[in-house]
Amino acid sequence: MIKGSETTKNNILSRTVKAALATALMGAAWLFIGFITSMMPIDYPSYSTFFEVLVGAMLIFTFATTFCEGTIYKYFFIIIRAFFLTIYIVYASNFGLISLPYGNFNITVEFMPIVGLFVIANLLEAAKGLIQAIEFASQKG
């Protein structure tokens, strides 16, 4: 057997284990958040679907960024995660306007400024990931 391929297998195995552990920890945190938010007295029917998609995506991005640690792909996953979160939160929050049924009436919550700040923060995160990718490429080159 070639010694280089054995090192590569060990490297892939250690990356996979590290990524799986990080994803499991993140999953436990999201499970706790889901449990706490499920006790809210307001019934928002599509909340669980939005939450499940968000958690699934965040776990996939956690695994991918941890697995690709030390490569330029990590930064691409960071950028993609920032754009995904921006688009998904804007979509899920109906552009910052949520109507919640409560008894015989609806409560409408408008939080467009908060969604705007979230969009700006994620665009800055994407820009940071791009700058880090450029720095990584310049150090490797």
pLDDT tens for each residue of the chain, 141 residues long = 566 677 788 899 999 999 999 999 999 999 999 888 888 766 666 778 888 999 999 999 999 999 999 999 999 999 999 999 999 999 988 898 888 777 788 888 898 999 999 999 999 999 999 999 999 999 987
* Predicted pLDDT at 42: 64
Task: Say which DSSP state 71 is in.
Answer: S
- CA nearest to 95, candidates 75, 76, 72, 111: 111
Beta strands in the chain (DSSP E): 97-102, 105-110
pLDDT of residue 13: 94
121's tokens = 């923060």
Residue 21 has a pLDDT of: 97
